[in-house]
Amino acid sequence: MLSLLAVLGLTSALLAPGISVAELPETVELIPLEGTTLYYGRGGFVGPLEAVVAGTGLGLIESQPLDEYLTGIREVPASWPAEALAAQAVAARTFVAWSMARGRSGAGRTFGYDICATTACQVYRGSAVATDPLTAPWVEAVRRTSNEILLYEGSPAHTFYSSSAGSRTRPVQDIWGGGGAPYLVAVDSPEAGVTPYEGWVVEIPTDMFSQILTAAGFDVPGGVLDLHVDRPPEGAGTSDVIVASTAGITRIGAGRFRAILNIHGPALYPGALPATRPNGRRWPQSVLSYTFDVDLESELGTIPARISSILPASDRPHRGTVRITGEGWGHGVGMSQWGAKAMSDGGATYTEILGHYYGGLRPTVAELPDTVRIGLAADVAALTIEANGPFELRANGVSLGIMEAGRWTFRRIGGGIAVVAPLEVAARGGGAVLPRKWPR
């Protein structure tokens, strides 16, 4: 038996004398004992966590029964009305069923998980969420709708949802292109006076706006002369933002435009973006949704590009402001969460809410996968997990015994995982005891 020594500074993972990289395990499991919670990132976990080597880094996975996974989702406040929570539970269950029916791809295929834990999939805060009494209404919504999903032509529907659609949801083809889906069409969303994202305005000086575009690889020499959204009729496809400068016309897809402002805006001008709401707090993003208009407001007022181009540089409208006016937060396809709350407040059932936003589809009891593997991290160099109590540590399926509470770090070295014990454990000579040969 050999030991991995703790690295007190946590600046690198060093192997104990006599241990080679080839002897490090490819998987490490942390199995909390009763009463112990494991913490990683913003999540808390009472089920086993599995660190794996794959690709160029480490992945972290929690496996849970499907409904136990759902109880760990934090997409809407648990204090919302029961029917809105039930609608969210069915939409979320359908989304993971669709994801698993489609099969793993990308990082999920590389690291061996079914669905990620972020807004790219569904926001998952871990299996410990259900132990909080404040989440009891959400847990009840999951239990109440157990095994219910939305089916389209016998398969799980692709149940997109987002925070707020504003006045109307968007057809899927108008956001991401493609041929669309009959249950992902535009419908009115009755959330006026309910959603905090009913309308928003962002104003950016044109010199700042030009710098943001330049950072994203779009050159606008001479400043912005004209700006507008080229939006086809509803259901006819994606929109473009048209930017006119002395170099000509630049066409930027609305989705990419939003990403540019959300990524490069705060990076270049953190004091200005995201903008401030009327109540003094900041909006969650620079451009909150895909439903927006853009205008150029110069010191001389709105000037057509054909006139602006012949004006002296000092009089051109790039000395003014880019004004972005929009509604909603998120992509706006499928169910609006704030719209679901508004409908629930008005007496609608979860079946009616789902039918409204998903083209008349109704919840149906279906045969679903037993277990979901949730990707908590992918392709990272190290994982730091805090345990508030004892847990069992396994390497390649071999038990290494019971470990103490503390912050444990797992680093990738070569094709294996090295364990860095907490400082207080290392001081007592503790840490993981690893066998020389690993089961394969």
- CA dist., res. 323 & res. 294, Å (int): 6
pLDDT digits (tens, 9 = 90+) for 229-276: 999 999 999 999 999 988 889 999 999 999 999 999 999 999 999 999
The pLDDT of residue 4: 37
- CA dist., res. 284 & res. 272, Å (int): 13
Residue 290 region by backbone torsions, left for phi larger than 0, else alpha for psi between -120 and 50, else beta: alpha
311 residue type, one letter: L
Question: b/e per residue, 334-354, with b = 16+ CB within 10 A?
Answer: bbbbbbbbbbbeeebebbbbb
| Parallel, antiparallel or unpaired: strands 115-116 and 371-380 | parallel
With beta carbons less than 8 A apart as the criterion, state whether 337 and 343 touch: no
Q: Specify the length of the chain in residues.
A: 440
pLDDT digits (tens, 9 = 90+) for 186-197: 999 999 999 999
The pLDDT of residue 372: 97
| Parallel, antiparallel or unpaired: strands 57-65 and 363-365 | unpaired
| Parallel, antiparallel or unpaired: strands 2-3 and 161-162 | unpaired
pTM: predicted TM-score of the whole model, two decimal places: 0.87
Q: HSE of 178 in the Cβ direction (CA atoms, 13 Å)?
A: 10
- CA dist., res. 401 & res. 40, Å (int): 21
User: What are the angstrom distances between the C-alpha of 41 and each of 38, 383, 403?
Assistant: 10, 10, 20
Residues pairing with 289 in the sheet:
330
Residues of the chain whose pLDDT is less than 70?
1-22, 299-319, 423-440
State both tokens at 246.
């002395």
With beta carbons less than 8 A apart as the criterion, state whether 281 and 197 touch: no
Domain-by-domain residue ranges, the chain?
1-10+20-157+361-430, 200-326
Distance of CA 328 to the CA centre of its chain: 17
The pLDDT of residue 11: 30
Distance of CA 364 to the CA centre of its chain: 27
The pLDDT of residue 400: 92
The pLDDT of residue 9: 28
